[in-house]
Chains A and B, each alone.
Chain A
Amino acid sequence: MMKSKWVVLLAALCLVFALAVSASAKTKLRVVWMDYDARFNTVYQTMEQDFEKENPDIDVETIILPWNEGHDRLVTWIAGRQAPDIANTGTRWVLEFNDMGVLEPLDKWLSPEFIKGFYPGALEARIKGKLYGLPVAMSARTLFYRSDLISKPPATWSELVKVAQDVTSKHKIYGIGLSGKKFVELTEFVYYLYGNGGSFFEMEPDGSYGKAKFNDKAGVEALQFMVDLVHKYKVTEPNVTENDRGSLQDLFIAGKLAMVETGPWFAAMLQERAPNLKWGVAPMPHNDGKPQSTLMVTDSIVMFKSSKNKEAAVKYLNFIYRDKYRLEFNKAFGMLPVRASVGAMSYFQTPYYKVYIDQLPRAKGWPLMSEWSKVEDVLWDAVGAALLKIKSPKQALDEAAKEVDAYRKK
């Protein structure tokens, strides 16, 4: 009895070994993708199968991680020297991973024509002139408004105030949502800052970030405008420091908000949770006399230095950026195109997508720095203090700038 067990075990081991040997005859490529949506989709599988058909000598292993776990799982793999060849990441992580020194610069592997095919603004993962990540998914923020209550959405801040006052007085509804509760990202302040031609940091000639700039005229005006929306015009919900982006979306869904500023995922939420609500999207409003702009957020795909199959990885990268697969990806996940050739496709020529795509050339991303989470926290406190009228916008931002500069000097 005992003996036969050993025989079976030995046979199994031989089989595993044989399989391992036969598999290693092919180049193996470990690719990590993120799970953009819980819905069933076959995008990643299709890409793997089609790619293997074209390249029979390469065996792709597709690993799909949920966003919540993705960062920690990748960090664990990197620390355990088991990084995959290619991984889909949040662009902010690119900075962090690069700090750890594990990323391969991509410029030398990819042709300039290929890189030129991206929207310039989407190529965020450039650190000191070197490209460490290719944009893989992109979203831009817009203004969602109740089309049954607002006939013409506001384009500028003064129109925004007018429309909001109008809708507040005519209907029992708050004009526009504003959130002052800490959230994973500095929502609203960034919209008003960018909509006033502002930016967070000075840019050094070498492309790195200099001193804090968010306390200049543009920044102070932006925060002052937010404070005015709450206290002077009284067109927001009264409890702004209690709400984050999520609860603003809830308020809009509940029919208590006439306008809210958020991203494309909200369209899917509205279709699901409030199918009878009449709504539209419009470009993010900007200050009168300043150029229109909005926040754009990208995710990037990176290659690890430790990869032993860089040629195969580069082949795979070139493959997945073909228009066909890009369109399939964007369709499946509701994301915006990152390549101009895809943006020109008829699928994106609907009025809904047009609002997003038209904004892209002027859209700006988050500052990409490894200290960002601290900066964001300090800024949240400044915004909160101004909204609660504990400090004036100028004072709050000046103090935040001092703290941020001191922190980054360390």
Chain B
Amino acid sequence: MLMAPALLAMAAIVFYPVISTLLSSFFEMNKMGDWVRFVGLGNFSSLFADKTFWVVLARSVFWTVVAVALKTLAGLGLGILLNQDYRGRGIIRTLIVIPWAAPVPIAAMIWMWTFNSQFGLLNHFLKQMGITSRPPAWLANPTTAFWANLTVDVWLGIPFMALAFLAGLQAISHEYYEAAEIDGANSLQRFSYITLPFLRPVILVATLLSVMWTFNDFNVIYIITKGGPMNTTDILVTYLYKTAFLFLDFSHASVMAFITFIVLLVFSLAYARLYFKEG
């Protein structure tokens, strides 16, 4: 009974939109988003026949895997560094949080201008340092634009990882390390036999969250390249947005939302199993 208000709120803001979107993917919709008629799996089959969709989906997966891997590695390294005892640690820890503290759209805009080949700081720097006299137009070519977007996404995601790992590391008692040291374990052995096993739950949770955020990272891509040049930096969520709000094709957008939901759900369940197996 006491949970009723909370459940009601959940129903209104979580279940209703989710279920309505799921149902929508089985309907043909008009441009106002009203259901016109039931088409069963028709929306699915026409979406699956669209080559762009598969390219975008594959790119989303690649984007997520690479970005999360980089964020995890960098975050782990930073977490370990921040866990050491040295002067000015507090200041460094604060500085690490800055990318996280900046509002994402503003950070993305600053990066967009940084990458700008005419006015951007990056190319100015490359030219001034004599590294190259003809620096690339980063956002003008598909490959460089993809990696530019990815860099920004990673840059934004590192602080969370670093802080999560730092918290995990701080929870590991010093006694284990001392005992291991007495037994003659070197630093690599201490890392792989003490740090990693203890960090395992934190790594699982942090990467799971990161996967969801990265897979759905709309802000960075939409602001920096809008999915361009051509469609070459679109991931599923930006493509979905265009389909729904630019082309007013709500049926296929719903299907894409459905697929995103399923992909992330399956992924989360697999992860949860992994997590609870140990716990």
Measured CB to CB, the residues of A under 8 A from B are: 75, 79, 96, 99-100, 180-182, 237-242, 251, 254, 256, 370, 373-374, 377, 380-381, 384-385, 388, 390
Q: Is B228 an interface residue (CB 8 A)?
A: yes
**Which of B118, B137, B139, B228 is close to A251, meaning CB atoms less than 8 Å apart?**
B118
Q: Is B116 an interface residue (CB 8 A)?
A: yes
- In the complex, the answer to whether A100 meets B142 with C-beta atoms within 8 Å is no
- In the complex, the answer to whether A380 meets B230 with C-beta atoms within 8 Å is yes
Measured CB to CB, the residues of B under 8 A from A are: 30-32, 116-119, 137-142, 225-231, 242, 246-249
- In the complex, the answer to whether A180 meets B117 with C-beta atoms within 8 Å is no
- In the complex, the answer to whether A241 meets B141 with C-beta atoms within 8 Å is yes
In the assembled complex, which residues on chain A have CB atoms less than 8 Å from the CB atom of B139?
A: 239, 241-242
- Interchain CA distance A385-B229 in the complex, whole Å: 8
Q: List 19 A-B contacts (CB under 8 A).
A: A79-B32, A181-B228, A182-B228, A237-B118, A238-B117, A239-B117, A239-B137, A240-B140, A242-B139, A373-B246, A373-B248, A374-B246, A377-B242, A380-B230, A384-B228, A384-B230, A388-B141, A388-B230, A390-B230
In the assembled complex, which residues on chain B have CB atoms less than 8 Å from the CB atom of A239?
A: 117-118, 137, 139-140
- In the complex, the answer to whether B229 meets A388 with C-beta atoms within 8 Å is yes
- Interchain CA distance A75-B225 in the complex, whole Å: 29
Minimum CB–CB distance from B135 to chain A (whole Å) comes to 10
Interface of chain B, main secondary structure:
loop
- In the complex, the answer to whether B31 meets A99 with C-beta atoms within 8 Å is yes
In the assembled complex, which residues on chain B have CB atoms less than 8 Å from the CB atom of A242?
A: 116-117, 137-140, 229
In the assembled complex, which residues on chain A have CB atoms less than 8 Å from the CB atom of B117?
A: 238-239, 242
Minimum CB–CB distance from A387 to chain B (whole Å) comes to 8
> Which A residue sits closest to B138, measured CB to CB?
A242
- In the complex, the answer to whether A370 meets B116 with C-beta atoms within 8 Å is no
In the assembled complex, which residues on chain A have CB atoms less than 8 Å from the CB atom of B31?
A: 96, 99-100, 370
Given contacts A237-B118, A370-B31, 4 further A-B contacts (CB under 8 A): A181-B226, A241-B139, A242-B117, A256-B118
- Interchain CA distance A207-B140 in the complex, whole Å: 39
- Interchain CA distance A388-B143 in the complex, whole Å: 12
Residue among A242, A385, A388 with most chain B CB within 10 A: A242
Minimum CB–CB distance from B61 to chain A (whole Å) comes to 22
In the assembled complex, which residues on chain B have CB atoms less than 8 Å from the CB atom of A96?
A: 31, 248
In the assembled complex, which residues on chain B have CB atoms less than 8 Å from the CB atom of A254?
A: 119
In the assembled complex, which residues on chain B have CB atoms less than 8 Å from the CB atom of A381?
A: 230-231
A181-B226, A241-B229 known; A377 vs B246 contact (CB < 8 Å): yes
- Interchain CA distance A181-B118 in the complex, whole Å: 15
A100-B31, A238-B117 known; A388 vs B226 contact (CB < 8 Å): no
Minimum CB–CB distance from A177 to chain B (whole Å) comes to 11
> Which B residue sits closest to A251, measured CB to CB?
B118
In the assembled complex, which residues on chain B have CB atoms less than 8 Å from the CB atom of A374?
A: 246-247, 249
In the assembled complex, which residues on chain A have CB atoms less than 8 Å from the CB atom of B226?
A: 181-182
In the assembled complex, which residues on chain B have CB atoms less than 8 Å from the CB atom of A373?
A: 246-248
- Interchain CA distance A120-B246 in the complex, whole Å: 30
